[in-house]
Every structure is written in structure tokens, then in C-alpha cells.
Structure 1
Amino acid sequence: MKTTIINLLPWREERRKKRQQEFILLLLLAAGLGAAIWFVWSSAVDGQIAHQGQRNQIIEGQIRELNQQIAEIDELEKTRNDLVERMKVIQELQGNRPSVVYVFDQLVRTLPEGVFYTEVTRQGSQFTLKGTADSHSHVSRLMRNLDASDWFKNATLVHIAAEREGERGNFVLRVSQSTPKAEEDAK
């Protein structure tokens, strides 16, 4: 019998090389597939980020427009409030116009002889009357006349002084304006 020897080494070596080549091929294929998946995912995320950035820009533009409109509305409200205040002042002045004439008329009518006004000032409904008088009794008569008037109330003497005996004295009175009954009925 003849023996034949078969050498299996080269066959196993070829098989190992073939498997190694297949493994490397599969490894490269998996790496390529991973890179493709990563590229697709990265592109999708970048696209979503870009889309959200555009939406944010649109929203920021609308916010700027709304802030401008709010500023315009605030300015219009301020202008409106200023106009309303001016209208109130004008209406108040128009309403008080006739009463000023009556007040000055009453100031003259209540003034006794020997008394002169040097200054009349008004703050709200309070009048401050400064003047000179021949005597203290003339000032008291002025105060009684003012209290008896329909247009004034609460006459109060703030200051009275004469520099020398027998000379005219200076005085300061405060009196409040009252609304006469006839004018209250007219309102």
C-alpha cells in the first residue's frame, strides 16, 4: 500500500486568510455603515437646529415688533393722560371763571374805609390778604365783613403791626373761599 500524505496546512492557511479578509471586509462595511448612519443623524440634527434657529429668529422679530407697539401704546397713553389732565384744568378754569369775578367783587365790597390791600394771593381755596390799615379796629371790621360775606369764611389774622404810633399798620389775613348757596343750587 502506498501511503499518500495530504498536507492540510496550506488549506487551513488559505481558509484563515479568507476569513480574515471577510472579517476585515465586514469590519470596513460596519465602519462605513456606522459613518453613514452618523452622517445622516448629524445632518438631521443640524437641519433641526437650523430650523429651530430660523423659528427663533422669526419669534425674536415678532417680539421686537410687539415691544415697539407696546412702546407706542405707552406713549399714546401718556399723551392721552396729559391731554385729559389739561382738559380737566381747562374745565376747572372755565368753571371758576365767573367765581373769580365774584370773589374780587366781594373783596372790594367787604373792604372798610381806611384799609388797603397791597397783595392778594390764592392757594387752592385759601386767600392770603396783605395790606395796610389806619387802625386795628379797621382790620377787625374787615374780618367781620369777610366772615359775613357769602363768598368767604374763617377769616384769621396772621400778623398785624404798626411801625410807629399813629401811623398806618401792616396786616396779613387768611380767609377761605366758600361756595355761596346760589352757586351750589346752580350746580
Structure 2
Amino acid sequence: MANINLLPWREERRQELKQAFLVVLGVVAGFGAVLVLLADMAVSGAIENQNSRNAYLKQQISELDQQVKEIQELEKKKNELLDRMKVIQELQGNRPIIVRIFDEMVKTLPDGVFYSELKRTNNGIQLKGIAESNNRISSLMRRVDKSDWFADPNLTAVKAMPNYGEQASEFNLSFNISTPAIEESEE
């Protein structure tokens, strides 16, 4: 039988397969490295993109916060102006009332009664005066009580004043201001 040595051929074949395997392994490793590099670049790009979006949103939020502060300041100024306007309107509305009160005081003043002091506090008036007699003080109280603009007359003190006359008296009278209904004041 003939002796054939196949070992060198097998050895060469193994070397070729080993080299092919190493080449394929190198290509796969290179391809894997490229894929990892591309994935890293994609993730880094996505992170950078998200960071830029976050920065943009923070900038917009800070601008909106500034606008909200400006709006709150404007609202505060608006409320202050409205309060001022309300006070001015109330003062303008009350101007004719003062005139009517003085007019009504003249109408309710009977002959022989003189006011020496007048003091207004909120919705009340306190009077000091001198009357020729106690009947004149009673007449004054009746007129104040009948008035549409005055209510609740209260005589707090009556003191004789002989140096102004035999029956002369000094008196203290207080009453409240009551605004008549709109229909009554228009008539």
C-alpha cells in the first residue's frame, strides 16, 4: 500500500482557515467598533440636542417669568389707580351733600338761635349754640327731627346764660346725617 502524507495539506488548510477566521474576526471587530462609535455619536448628538432644547426652554421660562412679574406690577398699579379713582368718585359724589347739609342747617335754624361752634365727625354733627329761650331750643330740635337730612337729635347740655338775656341758654346738640332716598332728593 502506498503511503500518502496528508498532514502538510491539512496544516496549510488549517492556516488558511485560521487566517480567514482572523480576517473575519478583524472585520467584525472593526464593524463592531464602527457601530459603537456611530451609536456613541448618535447618543451624544441626542444628548447635545436635548441640552440645547432644555437651555432654550429655560431661557423662554425666564422671559415668561419676567413678563409675569411685569404683569403683576401692572395689575398692582391698575388696582392702585382703581382705588384712587374710587376715592375721587366718592369725594365727587359727596360734594353736593355738604352743600345740602349747610342749606338744611340754615332751614332748620329758628329765629333767636345762634350757632357758636360746629363740629362734624363721620356721620354726626355736634353743635354748640346760644338760644334766646328754651322754647327756641325745642323748636330747633323739632325742625332737626323733621328734616330729611338729619336724624336722631340729642340735646346733651343746657346752661343758663344771663349775660345774653334773661332766658338765654347755651346748649349742646348732636344729630346724625341721613341722606334721603334718591327719589326724594330729585323732587
Alignment TM-score, normalising by the size of structure 2: 0.69
Moved more, 39-48 or 169-178: 169-178
Runs of at least 5 residues in structure 1 that lack an aligned partner in the other structure: none
After superposition, residues 60-79 of structure 1 pair within 5 angstroms as: 60-79=58-77
Runs of at least 5 residues in structure 2 that lack an aligned partner in the other structure: 162-168
Amino acid at match of 1:12: R
Q: 1:87 is matched with which residue? A: 85
Identity of aligned residues (%): 40
Taking structure 1 as reference, are residues 36 and 180 closer, same or farther at Cα in structure 2, changes over 3 Å only? closer
Equivalent-residue separation in structure 1 for 2:102 and 2:43 (angstroms): 85
After superposition, residues 34-53 of structure 1 pair within 5 angstroms as: 34-53=32-51
Equivalent-residue separation in structure 1 for 2:172 and 2:22 (angstroms): 119
Per-residue deviation at 1:106?
A: 3.4
Q: 1:129 is matched with which residue? A: 126
Q: 2:150 is matched with which residue? A: 152
Is the CA contact (8 Å cut-off) linking 2:128 and 2:172 kept in structure 1? Answer: yes
Secondary structure class of the residue paired with 1:6: coil
Q: 1:11 is matched with which residue? A: 9
Alignment TM-score, normalising by the size of structure 1: 0.69
Amino acid at match of 2:124: F
Per-residue deviation at 1:80?
A: 1.8
Cα offsets for 1:29-63 (capped at 9, x unmatched): 11110110111121112112212221222222122
The answer to whether the aligner puts 1:120 opposite 2:117 as a matched pair is no
Taking structure 1 as reference, are residues 12 and 69 closer, same or farther at Cα in structure 2, changes over 3 Å only? same
What's the C-alpha RMSD, in Å, of the aligned pairs? Answer: 3.7
Amino acid at match of 1:68: Q
Equivalent-residue separation in structure 2 for 1:171 and 1:144 (angstroms): 15
Taking structure 1 as reference, are residues 184 and 111 closer, same or farther at Cα in structure 2, changes over 3 Å only? closer
